[in-house]
Structure 1
Amino acid sequence: MESSARILENLDSVLPHIAKRAGEAERARQLPDDLFAELTAAGCFRMLVPRSHGGADIGLPDALRVIERVARADGAAGWLVAVLSSAPLIFGLLPDASFDEIYAAGPDVIGAGALAPKGAAVEVADGWRVTGRWPFVSGCRYAEWFYLHCVVFEDGKPLLDTAQRPVMRMMVVPTAAAKVIDTWQSLGLRGTGSHDVRAAATQCPASYSCTVLGEAGVRRQDGLVINDQLGFVIGAVAVGIAAGALAEICELAAVKRPAFSAQGLAQSPVFQDRLGEAQMKLVAAQALLADQARVAVEPSPEPVDRLTLRATGATVTRLAASVVDTAYELAGGSSVFDSSPVQRRFRDIHSVTQHAVTGREFFRTLGAGLAGLEGDAVWR
């Protein structure tokens, strides 16, 4: 029976390769094929697949530890592990027969996609006709399946629910049914290959469609609610990037003597003070993520607890970004070059902060809940 400890042990021999070749991944704008294969063999992409289907099913708290460890080696690799390992949570909302078909050949199935509803779906006799273009589909060149979120159209107009909100459905299609558009020229996370995916009147069977938002979508094994977890895997990437940045600034400080200084960077009291503060911010981010991950897997959390879960990713990511900013500043002129690993961390973390699940909307919604107001729902 595969465990998180076994996956982490498998990674011990993989992560040095990941770290050493991070620059290569940046230049290629995707993880090298052999490194992706090593992550797959280590168990990274089956860690949330049910054991009934050959997966490790290690659960959210342990999966976050794996993601953080990979992101510490390289943020882009950590991001890929985070988003691609989460695909079973989407697939788990499909009918059982469809889920079984997806994993019929084994647990190492790669699914990539987008939660942003950038497509239009029209119901037809045998399912859905899907058209649209979705950005930020990380790892799309490795995927076997795409999950593509759509607004449902009827008579040429978006279909609205009883609250006058657009009705949305997720469509799961083989990658051959859509086209990857090379668009990934980015500030950071360059090695994730997060290109656009386009579908033109693609057919999706009804049995490969599901509702993700607006209903109590739960995973089959342990009742995890997808809506409450979106920020956790992103937060794990953020703390991994921050941990890597602190390790790299410590290595630099051991050999760097700033211009016009009589002592090395490591001997500077200002450096020591700021480094210590940054370390405690990192510890706080890690502790918050671990604590809330345990809450996330509890059955039926209270409404305010759910709102707190949704604000966790934003809080953790902001703390991690502050840590990386400190490392970048402490590195001085060394950090301005593309060859600087600290600069890469800086670019990566500030790409992570732009993800929808790290936005301030979750703080507002939590504040409304604490004040006893219902407020506007954020990803109901």
Structure 2
Amino acid sequence: MPTQTELLSAAAKAARVAGEGAVEADAGRRLRPEVVDALADAGFSRAFVPAESGGAPVSFTEVTRAVAAVAEECPSAAWVGSLMAHTGRFAGFLPAEGRADVWADGPGTRLVAGLVSQVVAQPVDGGWELSGTWSFVSGVEFSEWALLMATTDAGEARFFAVPRADYTFEDTWFTLGMRATGSHALTVERAFVPAHRSFPFADLMAGNQASDEAVYAAPWLAVNSLTFAAPILGAARAALAVVTASLSSPKPPKDSVRVDIARSAGEIDAAELLLLRAAGTADRGGVTAEETARGSRDCALAVEILAGAVDRLFRGSGTRAQAEGSPLQRIWRDVRGAASHGGLQFESAALRWAAPRPAGA
């Protein structure tokens, strides 16, 4: 199983594979199978698998760094790798028998998550029956199990673990950016889910540990935004690398553009510090409600900063950057697409952090 330093080293190898196919992936709206294999082999799919299920969980900090490294070559691949890791943490909240089912063939099971749905799980003898469609399930084409959120007839939100044989997907992901994430619609028709393959969403929200590993103690809102912010960090670095190459040209950019490059570089560094503080706080354990709200706020703010920095770099690069073959326009599309994710919006995060408090708190 990968240690923290091994994950980052393996991510560099996966990044090279992803980078070789990044242009093709964007044009064809699909990652190459060997890219997904490289992500799994690097350890993303088992990064947060409990030790008792064959894993060796690494830190949120290391996963964030590893995802960003892949995103420097292909943001879509990094997005899928990040979800592989964090969805594995979801599965760690299943009862022991459910975890045994999901990881029966080892800790490398490729998991996806579906949270966007109006499905109501129907109680049946021994568990539930699921039927319905979940939108925007990134990486579903290459998945082996899905963790799908639905409500019960009592109104409780729960996750349900469903094997690949029980769901299909429809090619629905036609977008401006992050085109190769394969975030298609997943459909289930009358699948039986035994009780041991389900857990309350409230357990994930609160970090009610189903395992002794510290990564399971982190409240969901303290770390969920890292899943989607880390690929944007790596993509912003890639945009900066493209533009800073112009500083070595025989005719360097004019002073105003150089100032913009320096400002964007500083902003990308500042955003990284915000993300790593959120990850480090979760790694430390004992995350308070205030720290949870701060982590969510910081991730959303970091994404705003990163998107603004990439906007500035793109705008300052002129018409050439808009050419179809320009890597900068592809990166800009990916950053703008990723930054629109609902979990990264600053207003909701800000209102959680700035909630009314008792006097003196």
User: TM-score under structure 2 normalisation?
Assistant: 0.92
- Per-residue deviation, 1:77: 0.8
Matched ranges for 1:231-380 at <5 A: 231-252=225-246, 254-255=248-249, 264=251, 266-359=252-345, 360-369=347-356
Aligned counterpart in structure 1 of residue 158 of structure 2, from 159, 164, 169: 169
**Separation in 1 of the partners of 2:40 and 2:285?**
31
**1:36-47 alignment, distance < 5 Å:** 36-47=36-47
The secondary structure found in structure 2 opposite 1:342 is helix
Say if 2:268 and 2:305, in contact at 8 Å, map to a contact too: yes
Q: Secondary structure at the match of 2:131?
A: strand
Q: Which runs of 5+ in 1 are unaligned?
A: 154-158, 160-165, 256-262, 375-380
**CA deviations over 1:196-235 (Å, ceiling 9, x no partner):** 0011222211111111237624342112222321101211
Greater share of residues in helix: 2
- 1:308 offset after TM fit, Å? 0.9
State the one-letter code of the partner of 2:108: D
Does the Cα contact within 8 Å between 1:26 and 1:191 map onto a contact in 2? yes
Distance in 1, matches of 2:241 and 2:123, equals: 52
SS at 1:172's partner residue?
strand
| 1:119-146 alpha-carbon deviations (Å, 9 max, x no partner) | 2211111211112211110000110001
* Shift in alpha-carbon separation, 1:302–1:36, aligned structure 2, 3 A: closer
Q: Which aligned pairs between 1:185-200 and structure 2 lie closer than 5 A?
A: 185-200=174-189
Moved more, 236-245 or 20-29: 20-29
Q: Indicate if the aligned counterparts of 2:225 and 2:300 stay in contact, CA closer than 8 A.
A: yes
Query: Residue 70 of structure 2 aligns to a residue in which SS?
Result: helix
Any idea what the Cα deviations from partners look like across 1:24-76, whole Å, max 9, x if unmatched? 11123221011221222222222222333332411111111101101111110
| CA distance in 2: counterparts of 1:373 and 1:195, whole angstroms | 48
Q: Which AA in structure 1 matches 2:307?
A: A
Shifted more, 44-53 versus 75-84: the winner is 44-53
CA distance in 2, matches of 1:299, 1:39: 27
Which structure 2 residue ranges, 5 or more long, are not aligned?
none
Query: Once the two structures are superposed, what CA deviation does each residue of 1:102-122 show, in whole Å capped at 9, x if it has no partner?
Result: 212211110112223432211
SS of structure 1 residue aligned to 2:314: helix
Q: 1:267 to 1:334 in 2, by over 3 A?
A: closer
What is the aligned-residue RMSD (CA, Å)? 2.1
C-alpha distance in 2 between matches for 1:303 and 1:82: 24
Shift in Å, 1:253: 5.4
Q: What SS does the corresponding residue of 1:14 show, helix, strand or coil?
A: helix
Q: 2:167 touches 2:189 (CA, 8 Å); kept in 1? A: yes
AA aligned opposite 1:218: N
Change (3 A) 1:25 1:54: same
Partner of 1:218: 208
